[in-house]
A and B are shown apart, each in its own frame.
Chain A
């Protein structure tokens, strides 16, 4: 009842000056619109750029690195003596590159609750034979289905069907740049020589384009079986195990754990691609800063308008107090004026932001390096809307707070006497 009355008075004061109110509300609307659009667009771009690397990278990659033994015989032998051992020109010993006991590791990992999926991979160094020329390259042996599920492989296959890797024996998907160099089309057969001198003919079933030209010029994909055959290795020969976790932030800890538990080398995505993390966080920081600046400017607009309104309505405030409204009531009246501007402007702004960002979403954006992207990227993260909404209310509250405090402390005697 009491609050209803206060709200009625607030609304009447608002409507009495509806043009000013509208300007203030438009200020909030504009800033919220820009805030939401800016963040959606920026984050969309960020996701796109990060996706170039992050989507295709395992959260934790298990592999075996050829390196010198960490326990040199000299260290073991002289363990209990004082002094340092200096050993120079230590060479790694000739070991197999594959992960031993890979089948057991994979099945254990698949049972781990933190793990979203596991995809084995073989990397093989090869030469592509084009007439009398040999082009160096890499063939990645993958399991097409898992690779697609975890790393969106199909997104980068621009021609042909990635499932043919599995269905057609001795098939290969070539990098676009490589295919152009070799002047082959789908259905052609290419000759491949391994570093150990073994030869194999592979049928081209598709092209892929990663967006990174250097990769497209050397890499191609084949099934695990084909690659094992190419290398003359057994069916459990796996050089990499790619693990995708449910929570990417758990990667560093998981990498450390896997490393000691399975006695392999492990690297997490944060360590391997730290530059992307930095880039995207700085970009979002900038967009938040711009958005919040816009809101604060709108807040000052509301502050000004309310201040003016208080000077205009001095008499009304005085009489309200004379007939029994307390300072707290007057305070509430002006706070509700500010909040209704904030709520109304904010709601319109959120709608406007949604509209503007879906408009941007329609604008064509074609680039060679990103075959799957047709329009400008937009991230419709509900968090932006929540932050925008909350912030519009907070800013308008503070914009109303100081004028309201001033209004509540107006002394009715001075104004009434002054006449």
Chain B
């Protein structure tokens, strides 16, 4: 994955250059963290990289394919197939069971039969050690468990890349530790590529590569 000369402006209330000519590449099975002060544009960069934000200059290349000017439908497909998300807030759908929540992106992709996807979802939950909660509703789970379900959901389609926006930001020390361990395990054992935005320097220090940002520019990578 590459980011080429990405520049973004915020226009409201006045035009501000929030990202200035960002260039970097991310290679397979890297565990990268982006750190920086609040407002330095690290989340903004993440959303641009995630293809959800399309209002930018420059280009994003994911798996050798340029994302510039692609239709909303194709971008949705890319997110579905190649990117997994973990947000600060878990964003589970309360109408569905834990297992179903994990299955949703898989069902959307439709590569496997429903039975198979169910099996795979269960496996992912097992990796994260919450298989016993599979048939509960999300609101019956603790915060840490919910975040782990969200990670399982991010994993369901075996994405090329998992992106996290402050995934431990809402968790206490103990749960943060668990989530970090999971990420580390994914990186080391499953060779999963990870790109995590965080302001937790301790967390960042344990990743394989740190990208530090300030005022819309990368100052260390």
A-side residues, CB < 8 A to B, are 1-2, 5, 9, 12-13, 15-16, 315-316, 318-329, 411-413, 416-417, 419
A413-B53 in contact given A324-B105, A327-B72, A419-B89 (Cβ < 8 Å): yes
A323-B108 in contact given A413-B53, A419-B88 (Cβ < 8 Å): yes
Q: Which residues of B contact A417 (CB under 8 A)?
A: 43, 47
- Residue in B closest to A324 when the chains form the complex, CB atoms: B80
- Residue in B closest to A316 when the chains form the complex, CB atoms: B93
**Nearest Cβ in chain B — how far from A181, in angstroms?**
79
Q: Which residues of A contact B27 (CB under 8 A)?
A: none
Within 8 A of A (CB), among B61-87: 72-73, 76-77, 79-81, 85, 87
**16 other A-B residue contacts (CB within 8 Å) besides A5-B104, A416-B87:** A1-B110, A16-B94, A315-B91, A320-B93, A322-B52, A323-B105, A324-B109, A325-B108, A326-B76, A327-B72, A328-B73, A411-B52, A416-B47, A416-B91, A417-B43, A419-B87
B153 touches A323 (CB 8 A): yes
B47 touches A413 (CB 8 A): yes
**Nearest Cβ in chain B — how far from A20, in angstroms?**
14
Within 8 A of A (CB), among B150-172: 153, 165
A324-B52 in contact given A15-B95, A413-B47 (Cβ < 8 Å): no
B107 on interface, CB distance cutoff 8 Å: yes
Q: Which residues of A contact B79 (CB under 8 A)?
A: 322-324
Q: Which residues of A contact B76 (CB under 8 A)?
A: 321, 324-327, 329
Interface string of B40-59 (1 = CB under 8 A from A): 00010001001011000000
A12-B95 in contact given A2-B108, A324-B105 (Cβ < 8 Å): yes
Tell me the count of chain B residues lying within 8 A, CB to CB, of chain A. 31
**Nearest Cβ in chain B — how far from A83, in angstroms?**
84
B96 on interface, CB distance cutoff 8 Å: yes
- Residue in A closest to B150 when the chains form the complex, CB atoms: A319
CA distance A413 to B91 in the complex (A): 13
**Nearest Cβ in chain A — how far from B147, in angstroms?**
14
Q: Which residues of B contact A325 (CB under 8 A)?
A: 76, 80, 108
**Nearest Cβ in chain B — how far from A359, in angstroms?**
39
**Nearest Cβ in chain B — how far from A7, in angstroms?**
12
CA distance A413 to B48 in the complex (A): 9
A323-B95 in contact given A5-B107, A417-B47 (Cβ < 8 Å): no
B73 touches A318 (CB 8 A): no
Between A326, A328, A411, the greatest number of chain B beta carbons within 10 A of the residue's beta carbon is seen for A326
Q: Which residues of B contact A316 (CB under 8 A)?
A: 91, 93, 95
B77 touches A2 (CB 8 A): no
Q: Which residues of A contact B89 (CB under 8 A)?
A: 416, 419
Q: Which residues of A contact B43 (CB under 8 A)?
A: 417
B109 touches A319 (CB 8 A): no
**Nearest Cβ in chain B — how far from A405, in angstroms?**
13
B85 touches A322 (CB 8 A): yes
Q: Which residues of A contact B105 (CB under 8 A)?
A: 323-324
A318 touches B80 (CB 8 A): no
B72 touches A326 (CB 8 A): yes
CA distance A320 to B101 in the complex (A): 10
- Residue in A closest to B156 when the chains form the complex, CB atoms: A323
**Nearest Cβ in chain B — how far from A320, in angstroms?**
8
CA distance A417 to B43 in the complex (A): 8
Enumerate the 9 nearest inter-chain pairs by beta-carbon distance, A residue then B residue, closest first. Answer: A324-B80, A326-B76, A12-B95, A319-B91, A323-B105, A16-B95, A326-B73, A5-B107, A324-B79
- Residue in B closest to A328 when the chains form the complex, CB atoms: B73
A412 touches B96 (CB 8 A): no
A321 touches B52 (CB 8 A): yes
**Nearest Cβ in chain B — how far from A408, in angstroms?**
9
Between A12, A315, A329, A417, the greatest number of chain B beta carbons within 10 A of the residue's beta carbon is seen for A417
- Residue in A closest to B83 when the chains form the complex, CB atoms: A324
CA distance A1 to B115 in the complex (A): 12
Q: Which residues of B contact A1 (CB under 8 A)?
A: 107, 110, 114
CA distance A323 to B92 in the complex (A): 11
CA distance A321 to B81 in the complex (A): 13
CA distance A416 to B107 in the complex (A): 23
